[in-house]
Amino acid sequence: MAMTGILRPGHVQLRVLDIDEAVNHYCENMGLIETDRDANGRVYLKCWDEQDKFSVVLEPSDRAGMDHMAFKVHREQDLWRFEANVKKFGLDTQKIPAGELQGCGERVRFIAPGGHNIELFAQKEQVGNGIPTTNPAPWREDVKGMKAIRFDHCLLYGDNHDDTIRLFTEALDFQLTEQIVDGDTQIAAFLSCSTKAHDVAFIRNEEAGKLHHASFLLGSWEQVLKAADIISMKDIPLDVGPTRHGLTRGMTIYYFDPSGNRNEVFAEDSYVYPDSPILTWTVDNVGQAIFYHSRTLVNSFMGVSS
């Protein structure tokens, strides 16, 4: 059966302090490909194996963080169906005209209870992945750096956590796949709109609207180790890793872009189906849930956001 409804994360728009430094980081170090620029100074990037024109937008700003995260829906009627669901949930929506982001169709924006700008869209220009659709090669030869395959997910910090999770599961049809709990209180929730371990995740926090990290898929554990080499060679600020998560089983490394936005690259996480059970980690085992090998939390990982 084909996926319908919300298909996947479509893009993330990140605020950066120096656009040239940011473009160098994401293109030369991580291997994203620049596809466009606009009159507002925004730079559009894609990972090599993505068909859509962009999955990352870099926005010049005087502060780091996330402007918005957008999800692509299957059809235009799905866009209006989910907008109606969001309104019924009790949130206001805003229609952003086609072309406001170059190559992207009309978007519906709303503010989730945790303070994050979330958008939905149905149409985006497709530019291909640089590999023919007949007799395709397995990979492109011109990709630089870490060779990120796709923009995968964001982890977001916010208040009103319970209402945010209700919004995504009740109005947007996401599936809760894993969680961290402290008794009856959910500390973290990992949500999927596909068969991936998660497409977005939320951690309960006193501050609203914060970005913990934007994450990108690599091809293997060996590629994660190569990313660690690049981080050291290029003197990129390292946060944690390389290591493994208990949550989602991903092989991972975390580091910071020049503006202080945290990035993750990872490989080999788990998967879900509609009948998969929810996996639960208890707060007394949270160290192993997040960093399976050391079983110890890292202060910077838990305390730094943008």
Residues marked active site are found at: 153, 198, 213, 245, 254, 264
Distance CA 260, CA 2 (A): 38
Copy the structure tokens of residue 67. 């402007």
Distance CA 124, CA 121 (A): 8
Copy the structure tokens of residue 62. 């005087």
Copy the structure tokens of residue 56. 């990352």
Copy the structure tokens of residue 33. 């490909």
Copy the structure tokens of residue 42. 């925004």
The conformation of residue 134, written as its DSSP 8-state character, comes to S
**Which residue spans within 193-284 are E strands per DSSP?**
200-204, 210-217, 238-244, 251-256, 262-267, 279-282
| Whether 236 contacts 229, CB under 8 Å | no
CA distances from 192 to 240, 271, 277, 297, 301 (A): 24, 9, 13, 25, 23
The single-letter code of the amino acid at 222 is: E
- Strand, coil or helix: what is 250? coil
Strands 56-60 and 43-46: antiparallel
Peptide bond preceding 242 in cis form (omega within 30 of 0): yes
Distance CA 40, CA 25 (A): 20
Distance CA 272, CA 270 (A): 7
